[in-house]
Amino acid sequence: MAAPRTCGLWSYCGRGLSRAKRNCGLPGLRSSWPWGPLGARLLSQEKRATETHFGFETVSEEEKGGKVYQVFESVAKKYDVMNDMMSLGIHRVWKDLLLRKMHPLPGTQLLDVAGGTGDIAFRFLNYVQAQHQGKQKKQLRAQQNLSWEEIAKKYQNEEDSLGGSLVMVCDINREMLKVGKQKAFDRGYKAGLAWVLGDAEELPFDDDKFDVYTIAFGIRNVTHIDRALQEAHRVLKPGGRFLCLEFSQVNNPLISSFQVIPVLGEVVAGDWKSYQYLVESIRKFPSQEAFKEMIEDAGFQKVTYESLTSGIVAIHSGFKL
């Protein structure tokens, strides 16, 4: 319901406002803000009144960001459990397929956006480590005579087991990152992992930095998808790959499962509204072809998509050439 959410939102914005006033030393900042450091994006008066969708609800663009934040804040702890329940565990297969399509080699720099709880990041680390170990085994078999120093170094584990690979997990939501960090700690992932708080529409990274950019089940929550795609294009190195795993349009609309998902959310997680938002936002997301065109508009080439599980999800892929 809009009413209780906006009350929380008012206090959230109020807190931000007082913090901003205290921190910025420029009294005239408010009036000069539209021409700030990000000169490229002007905030005109008309833009503020633009509407977008939050599920089936119509909200202003500023509202959407805050509302989505609250949804993921409340589902963060049960996110993985709910994913398993709703997709009957198949979401793991989808994510494995994404990694197989990516086929990263040791030394890849991956940026995983909206990757809060770390599913893609952990799979990437496993994959790259397996590849690296495979490569080393082949090397050993090829050159049977290693020097004593090389053998000693291997035993001392001085070598990087990932071969220089790195994954940066970026998410706008602190709670999701917290859950992800805890998972990494529990599973013993230490090397090659970095956690960054950031907005997909304005990534805190320099241009031409990453080999692969992934966003799994995150892009439909972004307020301006085109901006997120442009940012993806910016931070990728030339030759870099964009991969997106997202729910898509099915031929027969899954009416019954859309009824069941909020019920599951209520019974398992005590949260109807967030899962209602989930099913509605899936309905609102553009079709495979339309999304492919949006990716091409952002400057990517050789854009393809692959529908999985009869169209429930699709993996879109594009290259920055």
Partner 1 sequence: MATLLRRALFPLRRIPSSPRPAAADVPFRARSHGAGLLYPDHIPTSPLQKALLAAGSAGMALYNPYRHDMIAVLGETTGCHTLKVLRDQMKRDPEGAQILQERPRISLSTLDLGKLQSLPKGSFGREYLRFLDVNRVSPDTRAPTRFVDDEELAYVIQRYREVHDMLHTLLGMPTNILGEIVVKWFEAVQTRLPMCILGALFGPVRLSAQSLQVLVSELIPWAVENGRRAPCVLNLYYERRWEQPLRALREELGITAPPLRVQGLA
Name the site residues for partner 1 (rule: CB under 8 A): 1-4, 6, 9-10, 13-14, 16-17, 19-20, 29-30, 33, 36-38, 43, 48-49, 51, 55-60, 62-63, 65-66, 199, 201-202, 204, 256, 258-260, 262-264, 266-268, 270, 272-273, 276, 279-280
Cross-strand pairs, 57? 54
CA-based nearest residue to 105, from 121, 125, 128: 128
User: In the Cβ-directed half-sphere of 155, how many Cα atoms lie within 13 Å?
Assistant: 7
Instruction: For partner 1, give the closer residue by CB, 245 or 282.
Output: 282
Q: CB 86 → partner 1: shortest distance, Å?
A: 14
Q: CB 131 → partner 1: shortest distance, Å?
A: 36
Is 203 buried (19+), middle (13-18) or exposed (0-12) by CB count in 10 A?
buried
Instruction: For partner 1, give the closer residue by CB, 196 or 308.
Output: 196
Q: CB 137 → partner 1: shortest distance, Å?
A: 45
Q: CB 146 → partner 1: shortest distance, Å?
A: 49
Measured between alpha carbons, how far is 97 from 119 in angstroms, rounded to an integer?
Answer: 13
DSSP character at residue 145: -
Instruction: For partner 1, give the closer residue by CB, 282 or 303.
Output: 282
Residue that has been written with the tokens 């496993």 in this structure = 126
Which residues does 54 contact at the CB level (< 8 Å), separation at least 6?
63, 64, 67, 68, 277, 281
User: 3-state class of 131 per DSSP?
Assistant: helix
- Give the rounded distance of the alpha carbon of 122 from its chain centre: 13
Instruction: For partner 1, give the closer residue by CB, 30 or 187.
Output: 30
Q: CB 188 → partner 1: shortest distance, Å?
A: 30
Q: CB 13 → partner 1: shortest distance, Å?
A: 5
Cross-strand pairs, 52? 59
Instruction: For partner 1, give the closer residue by CB, 71 or 279.
Output: 279
Instruction: For partner 1, give the closer residue by CB, 58 or 139.
Output: 58
